[in-house]
Structure 1
Amino acid sequence: MPTQVALSFSGGKDSCLALYYLQQEGIAVKCLLTTAWKHPQTTVAHEEEHSRIHEQAERLGIPVHFIETDFSTYADDFVFHIGEMKRLYGIDGIAFGDIYLDGHREWGETIAERAGVEAVYPLWADASEVAALLRKIVSLGFRAEVIKVDSEKLPQSWVGRELDEAFINDIITYSDVCPMGESGEYHTYVYDGPIFEKGRVD
């Protein structure tokens, strides 16, 4: 098991919970790696502004590095930046917040192998356990809001909703939606919780 890792970090609930679990296991998270499109300059998938990720990193006390990329060079850019993190921080692992999609895990393990480090999946679980994982996020005191939804899966009006018991009770009624949004049904931004120093991220 690696002892010093970089964490693939989106600013959402999965990567924040992964950070919490890594810290609980005594694994040093030396840096955060956030993928962002070259054009426009927003984060991949979440479409978040760089400044909001910087705000989180500052309160976490962990340096963040952006992987500016596009579809054609995504994997190669990721491998290159892991290598840079090895040089800068001496990491021996790269951690991901994926939960149960085998294709995602296989991709991460391939990237890690190419970079000469080990892939770590602190949240890895069976698909049947994801509702419990979402409840864990809320019970631990993480505060997050929905910033994006797949409108073919969830109402657009859910953007801006808080992750709380009411949210959980609503999302589990959608039989074709993963409660954790593992297939991109929704994305979140975490602004408070046990991994942060005092004061919320606005």
Structure 2
Amino acid sequence: MDKKKFIMSYSCGKDSTLALYRMIEQGHTPLALMITINKKNNSSWFHNISSNHMRDVANSLDIPLMLIQCEGDEYEASFSEALSKFKEMGADSCVFGDIDIEAHREWCTKRCAEANIEPIFPLWQENREDLVHEFIDKGFKATIKIVNLNYLSSEFLGKTLNREIVEIIKKEGADPCGENGEYHTFVYDGPLFRYPITFKVLDKLEKDNYGILSID
């Protein structure tokens, strides 16, 4: 692969962090972290990370941060528009942390086609459990931020992701990598970070069948 100047579609979670790590290790250059923000609560879609924590992460990674604010019905158009702007700024590709859900890849590929930018999926079709083990073994640190209560109890919230926790998640009948949405993580330290992100746990909440770790 030629050396890329890429935008990272970033969630602050483990899969996008591992994809970012691989791209940097291969000599590609990240121009920005692109994170979509829910206008209603000023936190990231899906992982519920506050904008303050996102800025801390971007500063530690030493990568510019681009926040894309949108409502739910604006999400698709806002994503494509942002990619077009990045294309004008010199980006030739956008990187995603998706593993093997074809509908996700199709959606990302369409948004990139609309912006005339190349989609890259560094983790695609690799073994899910191997990927989560790679993330852990590389030295990244992540806390479990959200759980789908259909699969995992709120007791998992705030747990540091390690091999032992992955085994417990498997025994609960959930996917070890959480690729089906069983859980989401907040990555706060690791080989890409200049310093760890500090945070304080405020509460564990339950809403719409999801457990959410509230942090400050």
Q: Given the two structures, how large is their TM-score scaled by the length of structure 1?
A: 0.94
> Which residue, 185, 197, 200 being the options, matches 1:201?
197
Residue equivalent to 2:138: 140
Distance between the aligned counterparts of 2:43 and 2:131, measured in 1? 27
Following superposition, the deviation at residue 81 of structure 1 comes to: 0.6
Amino acid at match of 2:178: G
SS of equivalent residue, structure 1 residue 145: strand
Distance between the aligned counterparts of 1:110 and 1:62, measured in 2? 25
For 1:1-202, what aligned pairs fall within 5 Å after superposition?
1=1, 3-88=4-89, 90-126=90-126, 129-175=127-173, 177-197=174-194, 199-202=195-198
Distance between the aligned counterparts of 2:172 and 2:106, measured in 1? 28
Distance between the aligned counterparts of 2:109 and 2:10, measured in 1? 16
Normalized per residue, the structure richer in strand is: 2
SS of equivalent residue, structure 2 residue 179: coil
Q: What percentage of aligned pairs have identical amino acids?
A: 31
Following superposition, the deviation at residue 44 of structure 1 comes to: 0.2
Amino acid at match of 1:151: L
Q: Is the 8 A contact 2:98 2:123 kept in 1?
A: yes
Amino acid at match of 1:201: I
Q: Is the 8 A contact 1:131 1:172 kept in 2?
A: no
Following superposition, the deviation at residue 186 of structure 1 comes to: 0.6
Structure 2: tracts of 5 or more residues without a match: 199-216
Following superposition, the deviation at residue 170 of structure 1 comes to: 0.7
Amino acid at match of 1:44: W
SS of equivalent residue, structure 1 residue 172: helix
SS of equivalent residue, structure 1 residue 191: strand
Following superposition, the deviation at residue 173 of structure 1 comes to: 1.6
Q: Is the 8 A contact 2:140 2:187 kept in 1?
A: yes
Q: Is the 8 A contact 2:10 2:35 kept in 1?
A: yes
Distance between the aligned counterparts of 1:155 and 1:174, measured in 2? 9
Following superposition, the deviation at residue 146 of structure 1 comes to: 0.4
Q: Which has the higher contact order (CA 8 A, sep 6+)?
A: 1
Moved over 4 A (4+): none
SS of equivalent residue, structure 2 residue 171: coil
Distance between the aligned counterparts of 2:95 and 2:140, measured in 1? 20
Distance between the aligned counterparts of 2:88 and 2:117, measured in 1? 12
Size of the aligned set, in residue pairs, is: 197
Structure 1: tracts of 5 or more residues without a match: none
Q: Is the 8 A contact 2:167 2:176 kept in 1?
A: no
SS of equivalent residue, structure 2 residue 168: helix
Following superposition, the deviation at residue 27 of structure 1 comes to: 1.4
Q: Given the two structures, how large is their TM-score scaled by the length of structure 2?
A: 0.88
Q: Over the residues paired in the alignment, what is the CA RMSD in angstroms? A: 1.1
